[in-house]
Every structure is written in C-alpha cells, then in structure tokens.
Copies of this chain bind each other. A is one copy, B any other.
Amino acid sequence: MIESDKYSIVKVPADDLRKMCGKALYRSGVREDILNPVAEGLVWTNLRGIDSHGVCLLPHYIRAVKGGRLNPDPEMHFEQTGAATGIFNADHTFGHAAGKKAMEHAIQLAAYSGMGSVSVSNSSHCGALSWFAHEAAKHDMIGLAFTNATARLKTPGSVRAFFGNNPICLVAPMQDEDPFCFDAATSKISFNAVKAAAAAGVEIKPGMVTDVRGMETTDPNLAALLMPIGSYKGFGLSMMVDILCSLLSGMPNGNRVSNMYGDPLNKKRLLGQFYCAIRIDFFCDPRTFKSALQDSAHCVRAEPALENCDVFAMVPGDPEKKAWQERSTSGVPVPDYILEAINNS
C-alpha cells in the first residue's frame, strides 16, 4: 500500500472487508454465487499485499455492472471436449467467478486424466491469477493460469504496444508452508501499480514505462506503455500467452483486446483465460515433490547475500506470505476513498 498525504489508510479486518464488498455487489444486483468469488478473490489478493489487484478494483467493477459490461446474472457454460480438455463460456460475468469455476473443471479433468486444461471465453478482468492456481495446490496438483490483457506492452523495435503484459502463474504445494506461487506479468511494472502510483502522487522508477509516443518517463500520469522484461523475451512470452488465452478461446487478440478503463462501460471485455491443473502423483510421489520444493525454497533463502545489501534472496511468493501474516492479524490497509466508493456504490 503506497502511503500518501492525498488520502488516509484504514486497516479493515479481512472478514469485514469481504462482507463490505459482497454487500456492494449485492446492491448492484450481482447473483450470490457470482459475488462470493469476487469478494473472496479481491480480499485474498489484498491479504497477500497485491493491493493493485485487490478491492481497489471493486468500484470500477460495479460501474461496469451498472454500465452493462459485466453480466451480474450469467449463464456460464462448460463443455468437456476431451479426457483432459474443456471450454468454458463465461457469459460476460466477472473473471473471478469464471476463473474459479474453470479451474474447478481443470482440477476435475486432472483428477481423472492426470492433467486438465480449460479455455475460458467471453470473460472479463480476473484480478490476480494466483487465486485460481492456488485451488489446484489444495488437491496436490500444480496449477497454471494465464490471461490476456489490454495492449500496453511496448513492442521492441516499435513505438506502440501490440500485446498486453499477459501474466503467467504457476502454483505448487509445499511441505511446511503455503504453496509456492509465481505470478508475474511480462512487463517490469503492472498498469494498476502505475495507477496506484498516480493516485499516491509518487514517481515510477526509470526504465519501467513510456509515454504514448514510446519515450521513457517516470511520471505515472504520462505513463502509457509498459516495458517488457528482457526486451524481446518478455514480448515473446506475452505473444505465447496471447496464443493460449485469445486464440484458443476465439477471443479478440493482441491490440484488439478491449481496454479496461478507456472503453465505454457498456462494451463487453471479451477476454480469454487459460487454466491448467497437473496431478503430481501421476508423475512422482507428492510427498517427495513437496519436500524437495520445500528444501529448494530453504536453500534459496539461505543463499549468501550481496555485501552491504539488505535485500536477501527470496522465493516467488515470499513477500506475499509475509503480507498475509501481517494483514490477517492487523487488517487490510485500504485508502479511505476506496472504502467510501465501495460503501457508496
């Protein structure tokens, strides 16, 4: 949570925050089986410290319901197409509700076939992918999740963006702690983090973003394009995710992916996601797997640190586990203007 003199931060117990979100969604006419995963997923994400993908999105989501973009009463539909595959039509509802169901289907497919994949069409913004992939780990499976996103990733060699910073997520169970979780966009910074910096009135580090003309800037208000990790490698990873999410689901791809904030609120997002579950015991003994992953994490954390440096080697998900521990006892820090917007919507 970025501190700022533009707003004050209120610490809200997770349960209260979840209820607050649920009520706001209910008032907007969202069906109960749809609003529950949305409220749960958003607060879960805040608990893990990823405030850019937490409850700060809810006021926007509710405007999208009122505008007609998000379907509060969808007829979602799953069709199994093979022993290990299926397609899921989200009927334009919340990405959280669609992803939860789609991952459940992927887990079911994996339970029978060893692995399962579900392609989601007619979806919308789904928040943090890690929430869905964690479901698989509960069943001693590896969970993978991918989504397409608005084109914001600066194309190497060009001044524009063609792909979104399409994130990649893998979650795997560990022996003595919460699952391993890698969940990262292919850009150096997320656009929601840029928006949060703009709201807080703080600058962005150099080399992270460019303005609309493709020129580097540190001003979050001028930021339009995000720089890919590893230049053409991050760009290639994004195109790879675009293939899995947009092309397999038949949704618009590349720079035809709709705009979360710029498009009118009656325009459907038509996003695509791809969820996959891998049953560990079809490859090896899950106890051995979890103990080896635990050992791997211990080793990484014990790697010798740089001299005169207070940064230590970390395992993906470590900052999120630390945030969870703090916030599940002391509450989720939320800017007052977000709480107000949730309660008034």
Contacts and interface: CB of A to CB of B under 8 A. Distances in A.
A157 interface: yes
Q: How many copies does the complex hold?
A: 2
A47 interface: no
Given A113-B83, A114-B83, A283-B87, A313 B158 contact: yes
A275 interface: no
A213 to B, nearest CB: 10
A304 interface: yes
| Residue among A234, A237, A299, A304 with most chain B CB within 10 A | A237
B236 A184 contact: yes
Contact of A81 (B114, B170, B316): B114
A107 interface: no
A288 interface: yes
Nearest to A161: B303
A200 to B, nearest CB: 22
A283 B230 CA distance: 31
A17 B306 CA distance: 46
A91 interface: no
Nearest to A228: B230
14 contacts: A84-B110, A115-B115, A157-B313, A162-B303, A182-B237, A184-B230, A184-B236, A188-B230, A235-B316, A236-B316, A239-B315, A247-B284, A248-B289, A249-B284
Interface of A: 81-85, 87, 110, 112-117, 119, 142, 155-160, 162, 168, 170, 172, 180, 182, 184, 188, 214, 229-230, 232-237, 239-240, 242-244, 246-250, 253-255, 278-280, 282-284, 288-289, 292-293, 296, 299-300, 303-307, 309, 311-316
